[in-house]
Structure 1
C-alpha cells in the first residue's frame, strides 16, 4: 500500500584570529610573547613542544577565551560570524557545516560530518555539539578533513574546545548580563587549590531569555533557558604523571523557533499533484485547505516576528547531559610522553519535540520525537608522542575506541484525507492485490449523494507511524603521524588512520490500525461506510459540503486524544548489522622561507605548504518502509590544499590564505524515494561524486598600537559530478521509476561566499581603558531545496527556495579598570535589525512548501565582569 512518510596589548592579543596546527590532538595552550606594537607571536603546545602557528601547515582559526568575550560570542553558533567557511544553524536542529560539508537531518541514525571535541573527548551527537562558551580557554575550527589524528566522522572538519584549567592560587571571576527580551546571564568560575599538587576549578552558567517569536497559539518561541556546572581537577601525581579531569552537567529547557510557510509548487503531491483533499475542503473541484493552511503562516501576511504554527506544535527543546572526562599525562623521558583520555557522556533528549511539519497552523503533516531518547557514549584514546634522530623526526601514534548507544522514538502522522473515486484509482494503481473493479462496484452501490459524487475518506499518508529505533556501535582506530624536519626550513609530514565501525540497528514499527480506525468512525457516525481497509477508505453518505474529512478526523481525535492520535496495530521488527572499514592517509610538505631573505623588505616571514588528506564518515542503517532497514554507504573525502602564511610590515600585518579542491564520494543526502510496495518514504541515498573548490583568507592588521583590524573571506564552489534520483510524481501516481539527473543543483544550506570585518580601538585614559569595537559579517544566499522540483522552481522563483543573503552588524563598547579587574561592556547585536533565516527547507516535490526559520532580531544589553 502507498505511504507518503515525509518526514598589541594583552587586550588586543586576545582578539587575534590565528592559525593553529591541524594535527592537535590534545588541549591546546595558547601562549603569547609581547612584541610591543607588533602582532604577538602565538605559540601552541600541541605535541609536547612549542610551535609558532605561522610555521604550521594547515588552516585553523583559533580564538582564546578572552577573544570570545571581546567579540560577544556566548554560543558556538556565534562562531560562524567570524570564521571563514563555517556555517552553524541552531534552529529546529543543530547543523554545523564547514566548506559546504555537514549534516542536515537531526535523527539519531545520522552522524555529524563535523566533529566536536571538549578537552579531547569526542561529542558524537549533533544536538549536543552546540556548547555554550562557558569557561573556555580556547576554541579551534579545523577546516577540511582531519582523518589522521582526529578521524571520527571528519569529512568536514572539527571544532576543538579546551576548558580553562585549574590554577595554583585562589582566583576567579563573576560575570552578569541583562538585555532585552528579559535576557539574564550569570557566569562564574573560581580556582580552589587544595595543596601544591592538587587544584580544583568550579564554573557555573545560567542563561534565560524570553522568546522573540510570538505565535498566535502558543507561548513565545526561540527562548533560552539553560544551566550548566563544570567541575575540574588537576592532580600532579609526581614528576612524571599528572591527571586532569572534568565533570560537565547541563540542563536545557527552551523553545525552538517556530517557522513560516510559503507554497513553492502547485503541482506538489500534497498541493494539487494527487488531487487529495484535506480537512476544510468542501468542494472537490476547488481544493484549497492545504494551500490556505500554509498561507495562514506566510511571513508576508503576518505582523513582524509573529508566526502561526498552531497549538499542536511541540517546539520544546529539552535535554539533560552529564559528561565526564579524565586525561592522564605520562612524561616517559625527555623526548617521549604518553596520554590516556577517558570520556563518558550520558544525555537524554526529552520529547515530545517537533522535528518537521508542513508549516501551517493545522497539524496536516507532523514528525515528532517522543519520550526520553538516550544518547550514551564511552570513549578511550591513547597517544604516544615523541621524537628521534636528535629531533629530526617528531611523531604521534595511538589508538581510539568508542562505544555508543542511542535510542529514538519517532512519530510520523497526518490526518485522514479525502478524494474522489478517480483520484483513489490513481492512488491504488500499481498495488498488488487491489480489485479496483470490486471497489468501484461497492462505492457505486451506495448510490448518489446530494451535491454530486460520493465523498471518499482515506489514509493517503501515514495516519500514525511510531518507530522505536535502537542503535549501538563500536569504533576502533589506529593512527600514526610523523613529521620529518628535512632541513631547518623544510618539513614533511606523513600519516594514516585505519578505522573500523561496527553498527547494529534494531527497529520496531507500529502503524495505525486502519481497521480499528474505520470501526471507530463508522460506529460514531453511520454515514461513514468502510470500503477498503488497507488504506482506511470510507465512503461518506452525505455531501462534500458537510466537510466529511474534518468530521472523520474530529471523531478520531475525540476517541484517541493523545499525541499519537490513532490506535496502533501489531509491531513489525527488523534488525541489521554492518561493518565499515576505511584507511585515511595524509601527506603534507611545508617550507618556511629563510628569514635572511626578508632583510630590509616589506615581509617578515613566509611559509608555503601543500597538503593531501582524506576523511571518512561511517555508513548507517535507514528505515525504508516495508523493506525495513537498508544500508547507506560511508562518505569519503579527498582534499588537496595549498596554503601560504605571511607576516609583513614589521609584523603588523598577518595574512593566511588557503586554496583547496575536494572530491566527495558517496555524499549522504536526504531524499524522497519508494519502497518495494511502491510506498513513498523519506530516506537517504549516496550521491555518486561531487567536487568542492574554494579559497579562504584571514587577515589581522595593526595600523598602530591602538588600532586592530580583522578580515576574513571564503569562496566555495560546489558541484555534483554524479547525482541521480527518481521522479517523485511518477513513483506516486504511476509506480514507475523515471530517473532524474540532479547534478546541476547547488549544495544545500551552505552559502558560497562569507565575509567578516572587525575594527577595534583601544583608548588608554585616566578613567580606565575604553575599547569600542564593531563587527560586520556577511553570508551569501543559500540553496535550501531538498528534492529535484525545488531546483526547477529555483530557476524561475528563487525567493521561495533560497535563503536570502544577509549582513549583520554588531557593536560593543568595553570599559576596563586594570587596577580592580572590573570590566563593563554594552553591546548591540544585529544593529540594523536585519531579518534573516537560520534554517529553512523547501520540499517542492511532495509537501510543496518552503519553511523558514528567523534568526535573532536586534538584541542589546550590558555586561559586568569582576575578576579576582
Structure 2
C-alpha cells in the first residue's frame, strides 16, 4: 500500500480513456451536466459510502443542492425543516471538504472550535464558548455521540464509512443522554444496505501517509439480515521534528474495524447492532514554549509565579554546584537558563520543530457497541430502545512545556521500597516512565415512545434514560528536576482516582402543528427533562490525596455528591412559505458539579492558618439561552439557494473553568475546576450555499461570537485566594469559511470532474481564562488556511474514481491552542497546526 500501487492503478485506468478523441472533449458543459443527471450508476463517496451517481453529482447535473437528513429531534427530518441551529455534513460533503478527523470539522462548522492543549491527541470541542478544560473534573460541555450512544475517546480518531456528522449548537438537555451547556456532535455510521457490494479506497500523501479503507455489504437469509463490514488502516510519519531526541512527532498508526448487522424479521421490527474496535499508536505533537515569567513580574496587580525561571538558571538557589551538575546531565539545556532559551533559541529552531525533553507517545484502545431496536406498534406509535457500551483505554506521555528543561514530566520517581527513591551511580533520581493513564467505561440504555396524536397534529416523544460511567485516572508527575537530590527537588506528585457517575433521567417533548385549526405553518414545541446525577470519587492506591492528612483528620478515601435539576425547551416556528422557516426558541440546561481528582479534600497551609476544606469540590453549571433563526431552501433569481441564520444570547451561571494555581503547602496539582459566577455569550452564525450556474456551486459560513465573564461576577476563590477571570478562552470573535466548486465540462463518456477550493479563517483567541490575571500572554493570533481538491468520478465509465488534495496550501504557520501553566509553574506553551499536507486517492466500488 504505497505510492507505486496508486500510480500503477491510475495508469491502468487511464489507458481505458485513450480511445476517446478530441471531439468528445469539446462537448459543452450543459450537455455534460444533463448527461450526468441521468446516470444511475453507483459510485462511492470518499468516506466509502456507496450512493448513486445521480445523488452524488446532483449538484453538477441539475438545479438542486444536496440536503442532509438530521436527527436533532430524535427522528429523521430535513435539515431545512428543523427549528434549531445545526450544521450537518453528509457523506458527499465530508468527502468534498476532506474531513477525515475531528480537527477538520472546525473549518466546516461555524461557531465550532477544536482546541489542542498538549498536542495532536489532546482535542477539545468548544461551541459558542462552552467547553471543558484539559485535566479537570468537569463533564464535557459538548458531548459526542456515535449512533445515539455517548462516545468515549482519549485522542484523535479517523472518520470512516459515515453517513453523516451533525453539530447541534447551544444547550442540549431535553432529548439527549447527558445534559450539556454547549452542544452535541452526532456521528452516524452507514447502515447495512439490501444489496451485495462494497468499496475499497487507497490514499497516499506526503509525510508517508498510507491509508486503506473499505466496506463490504451483504444481505443474508432471504434479505432478513443485512450485514456490513467496514475497516480503516492509517499510517503517517510525524511532521514535527523533535531536536531533543531526533524523533518525528505527530506519527499516526490507527487500525479500526466496524461490524453492523440489521435484522428485519418482519415489517414492524428492526434490530440494528453496531460494534467497533479502534487501536491508535504513534505519538502526539509537542508544544512550543511561549512564555517564561520573570521573577518580580506582575500582571494587573497579580504577582506572577516565576518558579521555572527561579530554578532553571545559572543562579539557581538549589546549590553552588547545581547548575554545572544540571548542564552535565542535560547538555541540550541553554547554559543561560530557560528564559534565555525562550528569548534567543526557540524563535530560530523552525516553526514545525520542537525541543521537548519529555518522550512523547500515545496508545489507545477503544471499544464501542450499540443496539437499536425499533418496533412499529401501529401507524402512529413507535417503540425504540437504544443500548450502548463505550470504553477507552489511553496511555499518554505528553509534551511538558516545549523546552529542553524538565519543568514537569509525566512520570514518577522510582521507589526504593523503603520510603525513598532510587538513584543512579551519580546520585541522580531514576524514573518509572508510566505516563498518564485514563480508562473510561460507559454503559447506557434509553427507552423511547414516539407517536402522533390529534389527527397527527401533535408529534411527541417520551422516554427514560440511564447511564453509568466508571473513569479511572492516573496522572504521575515530576516537577523541577534539576538532577540534584535534596532541597525538596525534584517534587514527586501522583494523582490516582476513580470517578463513578450515575445518571438516570426522564424526558418528554411534543410539537403541535396549528395548521389543523387554521393557522397554517405555525408550530409550538415544548419539552422537559429531569435528571438525577450521582457523582462519587475514590482516591486509589498511590494517590497523594489519599495518604496525607489535615490538621483535623485523615483525608477521606471516598466522597459523593448528588445533583438533580430540570432542563427544558420552548419553541415557536413558522413555515412562512414552502421555502422559508422562521423560529424562536429558549432552552435551559445544566451540567453537574463534581470533584477535582487532582486535589485533596482539604489543605493544611502549614502556616498556622485554618485548614481549607472541600478544596476538591465544584458546583453545577446552569445555562439559559434564547435563539432566533431563519432557514431558507429554495430559488433566488431562478437558481437554488440554501441559507441558515441564527442569532442568540446565552446566560451561564457558575461557569466551570479550570485554573492552574499554586496551592499552599507542599501540594502539587495539574488543574482545578472552579466556578466563575456568571458569563454571557452573544453571537450570530450563518451558512449560505448558492448555485449560480450548473457548473458552479459556492458557499460561505461565518460566526460572530462575543463571549465574556460578567464584570463584577468574574472572580473565583481558589485555596482561599481570589482570582480574576477573563478574557473568555477557546472562542475567536470571528471565524468563517468560503468555498467554490467548479464542475468541469468533460464529456460524459470520460466521467465527472470537479475542482473545489476552500478558505477558512479566524481571528485571535485565548487559551486561558485568566489572561488578565495570573496567566498572561495566552493570546494566539488569527490565521487563514486554503485547501484544494480535484475529483474525477466514474473514470471512463468504470467503477473507479480518483482525487488529489492539498490542505494548508500556503504552508501557513498557525497555533491551535495551548497549555497555560504560568499560574503554577511559571511557563506557557502553544500547540502548532499542521503544515502543508497533500496526497491522492483512488477508490473502487464493486
TM-score normalised according to structure 2 size: 0.79
C-alpha distance 373-65 of structure 1, shift in aligned 2 (>3 A) = same
Residue 852 (structure 1) aligned with residue 839 (structure 2): no
Shift of 1:317: 1.3
Match of 1:205 in 2: 232
Match of 2:647 in 1: 659
Shift of 1:654: 1.8
Deviations 1:365-406 (A, max 9, x none): 234574753211111011110010001100011111111111
Contact kept, 8 Å, 2:526 with 2:569, in 1: the verdict is: yes
Report which stretch shifted further, 391-400 or 151-160: 151-160
Match of 2:733 in 1: 752
Contact kept, 8 Å, 2:785 with 2:808, in 1: the verdict is: yes
Q: What SS class does the counterpart of residue 110 from structure 1 fall into?
A: coil
Match of 2:766 in 1: 783
Match of 1:821 in 2: 799
Give the 5 Å matches for 1:269-668: 272=306, 276-278=310-312, 281=315, 290-292=337-339, 295=342, 299-310=346-357, 313-351=358-396, 353-354=397-398, 357-367=400-410, 370=435, 372-415=437-480, 458-459=487-488, 463-487=491-515, 488-508=520-540, 510=542, 574-594=557-577, 605-622=579-596, 623-625=598-600, 626-627=602-603, 630-646=616-632, 647-649=634-636, 650=638, 652-668=640-656
Distance 2:542 2:652 in 1: 37
Q: What SS class does the counterpart of residue 557 from structure 2 fall into?
A: strand
Distance 1:114 1:122 in 2: 11
Shift of 1:695: 0.2
Match of 2:173 in 1: 147
Contact kept, 8 Å, 1:89 with 1:96, in 2: the verdict is: yes
Match of 1:244 in 2: 272
Distance 2:309 2:591 in 1: 41
Distance 1:720 1:10 in 2: 53
Q: What SS class does the counterpart of residue 559 from structure 2 fall into?
A: strand
Distance 2:386 2:457 in 1: 28
Match of 2:147 in 1: 119
Distance 1:191 1:765 in 2: 32
Q: What SS class does the counterpart of residue 256 from structure 1 fall into?
A: coil
Distance 2:826 2:778 in 1: 11
Deviations 1:113-138 (A, max 9, x none): 10111111112x4526x542201011
Q: What SS class does the counterpart of residue 93 from structure 2 fall into?
A: helix
Report which stretch shifted further, 571-580 or 357-366: 571-580
Equivalent of residue 96 in structure 2, options 45, 67, 70? 70
**Structure 2 runs not aligned, ≥5 long:** 1-32, 44-54, 298-302, 324-334, 412-433, 604-613
Shift of 1:855: 1.0
Shift of 1:607: 1.4
TM-score normalised according to structure 1 size: 0.77
CA RMSD of aligned residues (A): 3.3
Report which stretch shifted further, 842-851 or 784-793: 784-793
Contact kept, 8 Å, 1:31 with 1:43, in 2: the verdict is: no
Deviations 1:444-494 (A, max 9, x none): xxxxxxxxxxx995227x711122111112110111100000123100000
Match of 2:129 in 1: 100
Equivalent of residue 753 in structure 2, options 767, 770, 773? 770
Contact kept, 8 Å, 2:210 with 2:234, in 1: the verdict is: yes
Report which stretch shifted further, 47-56 or 826-835: 47-56
Shift of 1:843: 3.6
Shift of 1:651: 5.3
Give the 5 Å matches for 1:132-211: 132-195=158-221, 196-211=223-238
Match of 2:673 in 1: 684
Shift of 1:40: 5.1
C-alpha distance 609-507 of structure 1, shift in aligned 2 (>3 A) = same
Shift of 1:47: 6.5
Contact kept, 8 Å, 1:393 with 1:482, in 2: the verdict is: yes
Distance 2:734 2:342 in 1: 32
Contact kept, 8 Å, 1:62 with 1:138, in 2: the verdict is: yes
C-alpha distance 512-493 of structure 1, shift in aligned 2 (>3 A) = closer
Equivalent pairs counted in the alignment come to 723
C-alpha distance 42-224 of structure 1, shift in aligned 2 (>3 A) = closer
Q: What SS class does the counterpart of residue 617 from structure 2 fall into?
A: strand
C-alpha distance 283-407 of structure 1, shift in aligned 2 (>3 A) = closer
